[in-house]
A and B are shown apart, each in its own frame.
Chain A
Amino acid sequence: MTRLNAGLALAWVVMVTAGCVTINIYFPAAAAEKAADRIIDEVWQLREGQAAPATGANTEGAPK
């Protein structure tokens, strides 16, 4: 059991270390997605449509 744990830990370290090496050039995919969504909201004016669906003024921009 301990052996297995040690093995796991070692595997983690190797993986994490490998991750460390590439940290500086690693692309922050999740953050980029969030940023993209924020920009898309604005460009397509989706948030307005979402926030004020009751007015029905912005049916064109209403998402989904």
Chain B
Amino acid sequence: MNPFKMLRRAFVALALVIGTVAFAQGNLEINTPAISTLKQSMQQRHVQLAPLYASGAVGLAADGTVALRDASSVPLAQRGQVNALVAAENADRAALYREIARANGHPEWEAEVRKTFAQRWIERAQPGWWVQGAGGWAVRR
């Protein structure tokens, strides 16, 4: 057989395999009860977190968590609650990343999921929110 033909055939076959994988990529399972519950809990908490993002008290960290970066604008008596809020949000986020990896049958993807989310949270942050980049904390423009 013509070696080029063989190569071409192999190429097509492999391209098909890649195509299948690409197709599989189109669907990452995120509709499990655990993920929905986490989303819901985070959505409710967001009502309290949004003004803290806006004031810069809480920022979006590079590791996919939120961080209490400057509590000065929060009244003293509420700093503890803000810290609890941040801790609870981070617990939910950690569970979310783990759940997404697990829901897709790849618990070992957790770190990658976290990394992806970290980037997306930051990129989608509203102007004025504080985000942590390679050069430290900065206001998102």
Using a CB–CB cutoff of 8 Å, the interface residues on chain A facing chain B are: 2, 5-6, 9-10, 12-13, 16-17, 19-20, 23, 25-40, 42-46, 60-61, 63-64
Contact = CB atoms under 8 A, between A and B. Distances in A.
A30 B119 CA distance: 12
Nearest to B41: A43
The dominant DSSP class at the B interface is helix
Contacts of A20: 14, 17-18
Contact of B30 (A9, A23, A35, A64): A35
Contact of B7 (A9, A27, A36, A61): A9
The dominant DSSP class at the A interface is helix
A32 B124 contact: no
A15 B4 CA distance: 17
A40 B33 CA distance: 17
29 contacts: A2-B4, A9-B4, A12-B11, A16-B14, A17-B14, A20-B14, A20-B17, A23-B17, A25-B106, A27-B112, A28-B21, A28-B25, A28-B28, A30-B25, A31-B24, A32-B28, A32-B112, A32-B113, A33-B120, A35-B100, A36-B116, A39-B30, A39-B35, A39-B39, A42-B43, A43-B46, A44-B46, A44-B124, A64-B126
